[in-house]
């Protein structure tokens, strides 16, 4: 009976360990997905790609509805999208008045992409596509693309297919021709893309060269684009890691902690990051009260910028430090007032 009891106890403990391990893995995966989408959203926002930025922030909020950063960015992204939509629509109207229907159509399509229900944008697009002008333009671009395809000028042919598609996206002849051209382009870029994939982890520099060659013969190779993006991510992680190690060796633990923390947010489990963070945090925690008091001293001297910098370190070490957070909020308000009076 005791043996059975011991066996059951061991099974229960093993089950708990496995479940805990599984939960931890899921948590790390979700954390990684949140940070990847959040950082990518910020980059896209800064680049002015508001539509895709919005999708990334919405992905973050679908996993973590209380993510304050994603909430704030989503608000300003939606505002920017509305402004951009208005800009494209108005540009389309201006081109239409000048009789430049091709550029008018391009602008209306850009507006529709951002807000399908914006004003009468659907009708504007429909009116242009149903015109004799559109039929003439489509025939010109399609016939040019066909001739270029026969001459094996695949990149030029594909570009003209895209232009023809503006005027008749549902043409079966165009869809067929475009698929044939894309197949040839993919065949041309495949040898380089496959080599880039093989070299990606061990030799990112070589992989990048192969990606560039792939995209030179096929600018629409999605796999090469994805590999190039992944290489850029790996390079960034390697640079951050090297900077973190360099700062650590110099005893600049705050800079080192920030570098390793950024890595951990984007790629949990990357190399020896977790150990570095644990070691540095222990060192910094010993001085957390010093950083806090330094902030108070600077605050009392009206040196709000320096005070904020000290409390940022405190919150980096302990995000739940309530006094530092409250003081920092006051300092930010006073700094803004101070700057407005200068």
Classify residue 298: in a domain, yes or no. yes
pLDDT number for residue 272: 93
Which of these three, 95, 130, 165, is where a domain ends? 130
Burial (CB < 10 A; 0-12, 13-18, 19+), residue 10, is exposed
Q: Determine, yes or no, domain membership for 25.
A: no
Distance CA 155, CA 62 (A): 39
Cβ neighbours for 248, distance < 8 A, ≥ 6 positions apart:
256, 276, 280
Domain boundary among 104, 130, 156: 130
Classify residue 255: in a domain, yes or no. Answer: no
Its domain, for residue 319, covers: 287-342
In a domain, 225, yes or no: no
Residue of 334 and 122 predicted with greater confidence:
122
The pLDDT tens digits of the residues spanning 35-44 come to 788 888 888 8
pLDDT at 59: 92
pLDDT in tens, 18-27: 555 555 566 6
pLDDT the model gives residue 247: 94
Report the mean per-residue pLDDT for the chain: 89
Dihedral angle sign, alpha carbons of residues 323, 329, 335, 337: negative
| Overall average pLDDT of the 179-194 stretch | 97
Assess if residue 94 is contained within a domain: yes
What mean pLDDT comes out for the span 186-198?
96
| Separation in Å, CA 103 to CA 90, 110, 323 | 12, 11, 57
**Does 301 fall in a domain?**
yes
Render pLDDT for 152-170 as a digit per residue (tens, 0 to 9). 999 999 999 999 999 999 9
In this model, does residue 31 exceed pLDDT 90? no
From 235, 236, 240, select the one nearest 201 (Cα to Cα).
235
Give residue 175's pLDDT.
Answer: 97
- The answer to whether residue 187 sits within a structural domain is no
Per residue in 54-99, pLDDT (tens digit) is: 899 999 899 988 888 888 888 988 888 899 999 999 999 999 999 9
Last residue of a domain, one of 113, 130, 147: 130
Across the range 120-124, mean pLDDT stands at 96
Tell me: pLDDT of 325 over 60. yes
pLDDT at 6 exceeding the cut of 70: no
**Given this model, what pLDDT does residue 341 score?**
73
* pTM recorded for the entire structure: 0.66
Domain count, the chain: 2
DSSP 200-245: TTT-HHHHHHHHHHHHHH-TT-HHHHHHHHHHHHHHHHHHHHHHHH
What mean pLDDT do residues 44-49 have? 85
CATH of the domain at 102: 1.25.40
Tell me if 318 is assigned to some domain: yes
Q: What percent of the chain has pLDDT over 90?
A: 57
């Amino acid at each position: 009976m005791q043996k059975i009891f011991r066996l059951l106890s061991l099974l229960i403990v093993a089950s708990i360990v496995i479940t805990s391990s599984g939960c931890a893995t899921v948590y790390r995966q979700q954390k990684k997905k949140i940070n990847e989408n959040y950082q990518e959203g910020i980059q896209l926002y800064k680049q002015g790609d508001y539509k895709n930025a919005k999708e990334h922030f919405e992905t973050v909020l679908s996993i973590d509805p209380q993510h304050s950063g994603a909430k704030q960015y989503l608000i300003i992204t939606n505002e920017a999208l509305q402004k951009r939509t208005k800009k494209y629509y108005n540009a389309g109207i201006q081109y239409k008045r000048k009789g430049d229907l091709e550029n008018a159509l391009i602008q209306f399509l850009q507006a529709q992409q951002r807000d399908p229900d914006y004003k009468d944008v659907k009708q504007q697009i429909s009116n242009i596509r149903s015109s004799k002008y559109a039929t003439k333009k489509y025939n010109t671009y399609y016939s040019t693309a066909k001739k270029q395809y026969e001459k094996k000028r695949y990149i030029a042919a594909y570009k003209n297919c895209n232009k023809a598609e503006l005027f008749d996206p549902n043409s079966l002849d165009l869809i067929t021709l475009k698929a044939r051209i894309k197949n040839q382009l993919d065949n041309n870029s495949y040898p380089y893309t496959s080599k880039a994939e093989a070299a990606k982890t061990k030799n990112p520099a070589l992989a990048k060269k192969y990606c560039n060659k792939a995209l030179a013969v096929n600018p629409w190779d999605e796999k090469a684009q994805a590999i190039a993006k992944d290489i850029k991510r790996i390079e960034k992680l390697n640079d951050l890691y090297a900077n973190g190690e360099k700062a650590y060796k110099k005893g600049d633990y705050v800079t080192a902690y920030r570098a390793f923390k950024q890595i951990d947010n984007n790629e949990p489990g990357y190399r020896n990051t977790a150990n570095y963070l644990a070691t540095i945090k222990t060192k910094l925690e010993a001085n957390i009260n010093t950083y806090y008091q330094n902030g108070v001293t600077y605050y009392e001297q009206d040196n709000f910028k320096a005070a904020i910098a000290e409390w940022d370190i405190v919150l980096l070490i302990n995000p739940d430090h309530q006094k530092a957070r409250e003081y920092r909020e006051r300092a930010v308000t006073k700094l803004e007032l101070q700057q407005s009076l200068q």
